Copies of this chain bind each other. A is one copy, B any other.
């Protein structure tokens, strides 16, 4: 982990290119540090001025006479590399470079490279260039040229915000200020010649002042660094909310393999986010609302579902509403989010019905418009469900009730009482109300939304947070699996691929069920293999150089007897001998595989490919037409955990083939997931040498999955 202390908690700051005009890029930070109460030392560097905005100015950083923790650099781009060298020579520990005109403009790469090289050579930690800087709200440290803090600063709080985009960061800062959401740090990374968003996330994961991390990224420059950072946050039990934009752009790796083309790289980002429990936001509004929810919301108690894994933990919710209609909308939302709505306990239901005979005591609990006349009945219902121990959270819709003079005092009384009761379920409120009432409720642990559906989304997010905070490591830890070692047959790397026989052997060694098969060098051997494994069989050409066997007529299926096998062997061998590569050269043929035709009722395809950013990625989906038309593939980082493999089976709907499809017997989903885990472990064992691994199809049958074909390409 990089130490960002000099950048984010500097004891002294030099401003290179300091301006006497407080609204210029080199002038704003001096004004901000001066006006907003930064307590460290500030040294303007400007060879043409004796003082800058009332501070003594220095002709150079060397003239300051002490090494500073942080330098703010606001000089023209061509001068920046030299400045960086001077900073390094003067012992500066970190530098923020505001200047634009580097890699974001054509021809600017070389200058950025020079800047980064100087920083690295001299051991200066570099933020930027082309960034809006950083802030530490607790320390009143504003190393930015955005004037936005002059019009007000959000409270000091526990949300750390990091954004590649400066303007996005500034807008989020303004929204936080407006909503009163407390921030710890604010960092924009710009061109990321030095620090990346991932580095900041990792540092925040270890920063005691930060409890929730909000990040905006356009793309990860270093996928492994991002993974490490997200793992650190996960281990620290700190929720990470990410707005990853550019989701619809054609993925850079789309052409890498057939399966990749079905997804685009966004699915790989999603798999990474799923792996580490990242909360993903697709709009600014959702980004911010998730930050508010996770920073301010009390965690619900969780109920375990039968499978008992923490990620399956759910929070039953009580919906208490003054409008039946809005209650139904909230119930729709709960069902979509898989939040259970158990009915109100009998005693509380009896109390409510006694007071309001027309009230609905099912869940949603509808107190009806009668709340106007009997506000106490509403808050009693709230308190009863919050305390009954049956619910993880209570979501109340008040409409405009909070502003009603007769309702507000009784609501206050109940909220105060519930706030003092640690065992009561947390309360989430929707409705319109004055800002002061909203703030009052928030100060007593209630989350307040305008949109009723947002209370349900908040419960879902908080349930996930509670489950992740309870188990700060990945749940059945793919990383805890003992490493597998597999042997690559001699010469295969040079050939760029394994033969099918080699691939099947490697997979079998890794614990992947494969169809009974054998490699035949002549027709007699083919028949002997067929007789020993039993009919019907397939006969397929076997060569490291022929990956698309069907295309050359190298596959014959459903052979029922010895004569048919003999004829098929001769045919596919002839096809193999006649096959030519792109240069017209003959292929090396090992023989033909004789394999039993696996019987089943469906096909699943499983693959592992190399993502240029994140490394080995496993994918799975229903085979055949489904994968091509519905494109419902699921992705996960290899090696997979069993839990992730199960989630992939659900996400791709491949699980539907396993749980009694069309009257076929149900097969054990955990066992199916373990096959995926073993495929991913085999791929991980091949590591850097693997290009792609694809098993298509896995036959789904009474014995679970059986691999009927496999292609492994190497690099």
Binding site for B on A (CB under 8 A): 100-101, 104-105, 132, 146-148, 163-168, 170-171, 174-175, 178, 216, 218, 243, 245-248, 282-285, 321-326, 328-329, 331-333, 335-336, 357-358, 368-369, 372, 399-400, 431-432, 450-453, 602, 622, 624-626, 628-630, 632, 653, 656-657, 661-662
> Quick check: A335 and B399 within 8 Å, CB to CB?
no
> Quick check: B622 and A171 within 8 Å, CB to CB?
no
Q: Choose one: B168, B328, B358; the contact of A100 (CB below 8 Å).
A: B358
> Quick check: B602 and A329 within 8 Å, CB to CB?
no
What residues of chain B lie closer than 8 Å to A285, measured between beta carbons? 450-451, 453
Task: Name 18 interchain pairs, CB-CB below 8 A, sorted by A.
Answer: A100-B358, A104-B358, A147-B372, A148-B400, A166-B369, A167-B324, A167-B368, A170-B323, A175-B432, A245-B328, A248-B336, A284-B329, A284-B451, A285-B450, A285-B451, A602-B625, A622-B629, A626-B629
What residues of chain B lie closer than 8 Å to A148, measured between beta carbons? 400
Bound Cα distance from A282 to B332, whole angstroms: 9
Identify the 6 closest CB pairs spanning chains A and B, nearest first. A165-B325, A167-B323, A168-B325, A248-B335, A245-B328, A285-B451
What residues of chain B lie closer than 8 Å to A451, measured between beta carbons? 283-285
CB distance from A501 to the nearest CB of B (A): 28
Bound Cα distance from A218 to B656, whole angstroms: 32
CB distance from A698 to the nearest CB of B (A): 15
- Given A325-B218, A630-B653: A399 in contact with B171 (beta carbons within 8 A): yes
Closest residue of B by beta carbon distance from A602:
B625
- Given A284-B326, A369-B166, A626-B626: A332 in contact with B247 (beta carbons within 8 A): yes
Bound Cα distance from A452 to B164, whole angstroms: 18
Bound Cα distance from A329 to B321, whole angstroms: 35
- Given A285-B450, A432-B178: A326 in contact with B218 (beta carbons within 8 A): no
Bound Cα distance from A451 to B451, whole angstroms: 15
Interface centre among A164, A167, A328, A331 (most CB of B within 10 A): A167
CB distance from A396 to the nearest CB of B (A): 13
- Given A336-B248, A358-B100, A629-B653: A218 in contact with B328 (beta carbons within 8 A): yes
CB distance from A361 to the nearest CB of B (A): 13
What residues of chain B lie closer than 8 Å to A452, measured between beta carbons? 283-284
Q: Choose one: B132, B628, B657; the contact of A629 (CB below 8 Å).
A: B657
Closest residue of B by beta carbon distance from A167:
B323
> Quick check: B325 and A245 within 8 Å, CB to CB?
yes
